Amino acid sequence: MSDAALAFRQVRFTNKAFWRNPASAFFTFAFPLMFLVIFTALLGNGKTVVSVHPPVVIKNATYYVVAMAAFGVITATYTNVAMSVTFQRDQGILKRVRGTPLPSWAYLFGRVVHAMLVAAILVVITMLFGRFVYGATMPTGSALWEFIVAFVVGSLSFAALALAITAVIPNADAGPPIVNASILPLLFLSGVFIPVSSTSPAWIRTIGNIFPVKHFMDAIQGGFLANIPNASAAFPFRWSDVLYIALWGIAGLLLAIRFFSWEPRK
């Protein structure tokens, strides 16, 4: 069997293992929907101004549908990959994999592609839930293709960053706090949980612009909100955001190649 065939067989195996744990699968998909319902219930589904220059008025639910879609992608491809790989490393699974005929890259390929598939399902479920429950606007036409490009580049980049951050996680117990500490503050500072506008403090906008979460959120928004009047001016889709995300992903990949460990830490 060729290496490519082994890689895609690993994707199928990882996918089967995921679905054979129904409790984990259920809460993986329920988590973004739970946040969507909570934010919409707390803030109401009335219209709100999310941009000052120019002023754009959209429903809270519409804003949080795209925000929770971005959150779902980051959770599936960054948080889950980083934690699961760290646990498998400490349990000796990664070390044993290297002793099998399966190429090392094929094992990681299976995990990354599976994470992207889970992220895609999360995005679809969140968008359909927002459409039928809250009447949120859906992307169509060229905006939909921009949305898909942002999703693919973002999910690959966050998966590469997930593999890179495992190098600084000393053991499995330290995985959840380190991974959450590296991503949760950025979710607040990048407009995922709370909208960030031109009236927000300058230091919040500065920090947000440094890291890829803000640019991923902007790219996803640009495709998702393009059909809302005036939204394209307030939330434009910029290829520079996609490029910035890709550069972060390349940096994460290079760091993972250099520092990724297959053996448990002593």
- 157 φ, ψ to 5°? -70, -45
Residue 79: DSSP 8-state = I
Please, are residues 155 and 220 in contact by the beta-carbon 8 Å criterion? Answer: no
Burial (CB < 10 A; 0-12, 13-18, 19+), residue 198, is: exposed
For the chain, give every domain's residue range. Answer: 3-259
pLDDT at 50: 59
76/80 Cα distance (integer angstroms): 5
Q: How far apart are the first and last CA of the chain?
A: 35
Cα separation, 184 vs 197, in Å, equals: 19
- Cα 253 from Cα 15, distance rounded (Å): 23
* 114 vs 11: CA distance, rounded Å: 6
Q: Give pLDDT tens digits for 96-110.
A: 988 888 888 999 999
Q: How far apart are CA 134 and CA 97, in angstroms?
A: 46
For 224, residues 6+ apart whose C-beta sits below 8 A from its C-beta are 65, 66, 69, 137, 139, 143, 147
Neighbours of 54 (CB within 10 A): 9
- Rounded CA gap, 194 and 157, in Å? 23
H-helix or E-strand spanning residue 47: strand 47-51
pLDDT at 8: 87
pLDDT lower than 70: segments of the chain: 45-56, 198, 227-234, 266
For 19-35, what is each residue's pLDDT tens digit?
Answer: 888 888 888 888 888 98
Is residue 50 helix, strand or coil? Answer: strand
pTM for the complete prediction? 0.90
